[in-house]
Amino acid sequence: MKEQKSIPVTKTQRSAKFVKTGIQIGGNYIKHYSKKLFNPDLSRDELNEDNATDIYKSLSELKGSALKIAQMLSMDKNILPKSYVDKFTQSQYNAPPLSGPLIVRTFSKSFGKPPEKIFDKFNLKSTNAASIGQVHTAELNGKKLAVKIQYPGVGDSISSDLKLVKPFAFRLLNMSEKDLNIYIKEVEERLLEETDYELEVRRSIQFSEACRNLSNVVFPTYYPELSGKRIISMDWIEGMHLKEFLKTNPSQELRNKIGQALWDFYNFQQHELKAVHADPHPGNFLITPDEKLGVIDFGCIKEMPDDFYFPFFSLISTDIINDKEKTIEAFRKLEMILPNDNEQQITFYHKMYLEMIVLFAKPYTSRTFDFDNPDFFQQLYNYGDKISKMPEFKQARGVKHFIYVNRTNFGLYTILQELKAVVNTDTYKPHIK
């Protein structure tokens, strides 16, 4: 992939990039409707493809929060047209990398010297480039390291980027403005944490230590003395990303083993730590040569306060769901049913959310679950499609914690589906008062 020699850093430069992309998209619409004059049955496929290509190209050059949102949206197959999902999925694995001179400049700013003065060997060509940073290999004292370097200007441009990306998100997501503002605010809080690499190193050490007794899950060792605000140094873990792993046609036994490690990793955190690795896209995991799950990124952590954790998990792990009054009480605590709702609205939202919870909880309600179950996922997509068309769901509902907790759990389900794993779901259960 061609290296990127510069990155728009200032608000003016980044804003100009968005304006240019907006003009390109306007041109795509004109082209589409011109063709439609001569062919009234023309579908939106070509328009979506052109828009997705232009938007992804722009976001991948901007990097940062703009590209991160594309990455998040690509994980929800239900929100966007297929062409957007296909294009945005690239951001899970690879975006255009920054050139060597930009990398050297970042090191010099952070440590006062270039990388070759810090490491015995440093490869200026990146091995992986994603939304917020890119990874380089290095060697020190005979040990191979992974060095993650944050793109210039990413941390300083989050708020302004999100304001610029809002019109695109508004059109793509079809949310009410209030709903979108809650979404953007929660994303902004997590992204501000995710661009704080000193916080990430502390959390990485803390979480890998807390999870160290999990079977078949491994973590790199982190080096705070070789890390800083924009740089993280850790052990290099050999392994394949999910896409590469699946191309090797692994046995069902191995798929189940990796799937079980992933399930345990997530549910241990949710129920024992009440805080969870909230970025379950495949680029954050490796399958190692000795058949273990390597977790290589703890940038995005979502903490779950008690007033969210207890009502939410009581719905999927107890018989509360069979008691209408207790279910409605939990829905009120979670702001899925609002104080001003009338009886008709309460009945409607109780029915709709009950359908969602029963569906979502299926993996939790049996000892094992086969994630190679097309009916289960079709029901999930059908439900999402159904409520997306309902005017009752245009207003904001649900506390802000749903944004990342739902993203985490549906992301987990999606990876397990790609693995076609059969998982023992009875390992780490919710702790409900």
pLDDT at position 92:
42
Average pLDDT, the chain: 79
Q: Is the pLDDT of residue 204 over 70?
A: yes
Summarised one tens digit per residue, pLDDT across range 311-364 is 999 988 878 888 999 999 999 999 999 999 999 999 999 999 999 899 888 998
pLDDT at position 166:
67
Q: What percent of the chain has pLDDT over 70?
A: 70
Token pair for 32: 């589409």
Listed in sequence order, the residues at least 6 apart from 59 whose beta carbon sits closer than 8 Å to its beta carbon are: 66, 67, 69, 70, 91
Q: Is the pLDDT of residue 36 over 70?
A: no
Summarised one tens digit per residue, pLDDT across range 42-91 is 455 554 555 555 555 655 555 555 555 555 544 444 444 454 455 445 44
Q: What's the predicted TM-score (pTM) here?
A: 0.76
Distance CA 82, CA 93 (A): 18
pLDDT at position 182:
73
The predicted model gives 114-128 an average pLDDT of: 91
The predicted model gives 391-395 an average pLDDT of: 76
Q: Residue 25's closest CA among 82, 97, 84?
A: 84
39 alpha carbon, distance to own chain's centre:
39
Using only C-alpha atoms, the chain has a radius of gyration, in whole angstroms, of 22
Q: Is the pLDDT of residue 207 over 90?
A: yes
pLDDT at position 61:
58
Confidence label for 392 from pLDDT (cuts 50, 70 and 90): confident
pLDDT at position 30:
44
pLDDT at position 34:
47
Q: What is the 3-state secondary structure (H, E, C) of 173-230?
A: HCCCHHHHHHHHHHHHHHHHHHCCHHHHHHHHHHHHHHCCCCCCEECCCECHHHCCCC
Q: Is the pLDDT of residue 18 over 60?
A: no
Residue 268 phi/psi, 5-degree rounding, is: -60, -45
The predicted model gives 5-12 an average pLDDT of: 51
Cβ neighbours around 384 below 10 Å, total: 15
Summarised one tens digit per residue, pLDDT across range 228-237 is 988 999 999 9
Which of 51-55, 163-167, 231-235, 295-299 has the lowest average pLDDT?
Answer: 51-55
DSSP state for residue 378 in the 8-state scheme: H
Cβ neighbours around 205 below 10 Å, total: 16
pLDDT at position 211:
94
Summarised one tens digit per residue, pLDDT across range 363-389 is 988 899 999 998 998 888 888 778 877
pLDDT at position 32:
40
